[in-house]
């Protein structure tokens, strides 16, 4: 079936370094790609999203890039801080039964060490 693969499953960086998380998707019709951050004991929170008509989007220290030909997209966090430590999920839209739905990756646990 349709799926989204996310790598790595865990990522450990030093404060100030950059972190990159990559996702690949299988449905070429997918056109919406959100990224969520989940802190311990809380629900996922949208941090950035991108649609298929653009290749890159930035919001302060966070950026997302999309390569539709290769069917992959990536989250880039620069100048990481300890509060960036969380689990990050990517997702891709999928049309099923006449409706778009989101398929989520398995998540990446990011640890930022002071």
Partner 1 sequence: DAGITQSPRHKVTETGTPVTLRCHQTENHRYMYWYRQDPGHGLRLIHYSYGVKDTDKGEVSDGYSVSRSKTEDFLLTLESATSSQTSVYFCAISDTSWADTQYFGPGTRLTVL
Q: Which of 12, 45, 67, 81 binds partner 1 (CB under 8 A)?
A: 45
Calpha distance 112→58 (Å, rounded) = 21
- Local structure of 96: helix, strand or coil: strand
Of 11-19, 38-46, 62-70, 75-83: span binding partner 1 (CB under 8 A)? 38-46
Strand partners, 25: 4
Using CB under 8 A as the binding rule, whether residue 73 contacts partner 1 is answered as no
Q: Which of 60, 69, 70, 99 binds partner 1 (CB under 8 A)?
A: 99
CA–CA distances in Å: residue 6 to residues 10, 22, 28, 93: 10, 6, 17, 15
Q: Which of 86, 105, 110, 112 binds partner 1 (CB under 8 A)?
A: 105
Number of residues that bind partner 1 (CB under 8 A): 26
Using CB under 8 A as the binding rule, whether residue 34 contacts partner 1 is answered as yes
- On the question of a cis peptide bond just before residue 100, with omega within 30 degrees of 0, the verdict is no
Using CB under 8 A as the binding rule, whether residue 106 contacts partner 1 is answered as yes
Any residues with CB less than 8 A from the CB of 48 and at least 6 apart, and which? 34, 35, 57, 59, 62, 63, 64, 75
Contact footprint for partner 1 (CB under 8 A): 1, 4, 6, 31-32, 34, 36, 41-46, 49, 89, 91, 93, 97, 99-102, 104-107
């Amino acid at each position: 079936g349709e799926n989204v693969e996310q790598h790595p499953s865990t990522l450990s960086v030093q404060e100030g370094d950059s972190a990159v998380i990559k996702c690949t998707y299988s449905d070429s019709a997918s056109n919406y790609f959100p990224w969520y951050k989940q802190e311990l004991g809380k629900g996922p929170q949208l941090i950035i999203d991108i649609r298929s008509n653009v290749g890159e989007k930035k919001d302060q220290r966070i950026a997302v890039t999309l390569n539709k030909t290769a069917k992959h997209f990536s989250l880039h966090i620069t100048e990481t801080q300890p509060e960036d430590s969380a689990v990050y999920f990517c997702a891709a839209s999928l049309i099923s039964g006449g409706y778009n739905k989101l398929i989520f990756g398995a998540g990446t646990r990011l640890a930022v060490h002071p």
